């Protein structure tokens, strides 16, 4: 329990940010899962379309601090590489 007014405010801010970040992270995971599902199904066009939708969402999550910038870049890069190799098969 916060003993100072400033500590109580900080606790409120943390609670609000945690809720927002959890929702944002969950949303990013949902978009990633859509891409993964399309890749598993072997549908390159659907996977590419899903990635096109997922990219801005992942980038927004990184920009807002819900996940690290390098993590977002790595995820986008690896998914796009996997989609490109689907066409080579």
DSSP helix/strand/coil, 8: helix
pLDDT for 29 beyond 70: yes
How do residues 55-80 score in pLDDT, each as one tens digit?
999 999 999 999 999 999 999 999 99
Closest C-alpha to 70, from 81, 79, 59: 59
Class of domain 5-88: mainly alpha
Residues in the chain: 89
Nearest to 66 by CA among 35, 30, 26: 26
Look at the pTM and tell me if it is higher than 0.75: yes
Q: Domain extents for the chain? A: 5-88
């Amino acid at each position: 329990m916060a003993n100072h007014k400033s500590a109580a405010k900080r606790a409120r801010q943390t609670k609000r940010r945690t809720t927002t970040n959890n929702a944002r992270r969950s949303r990013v995971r949902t978009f990633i899962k859509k891409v993964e599902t399309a890749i598993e199904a072997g549908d390159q066009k659907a996977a590419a379309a899903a990635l096109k939708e997922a990219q801005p969402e992942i980038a927004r999550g990184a920009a807002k601090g819900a996940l690290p910038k390098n993590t977002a870049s790595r995820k986008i890069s690896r998914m796009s590489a996997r989609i490109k190799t689907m066409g080579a098969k």
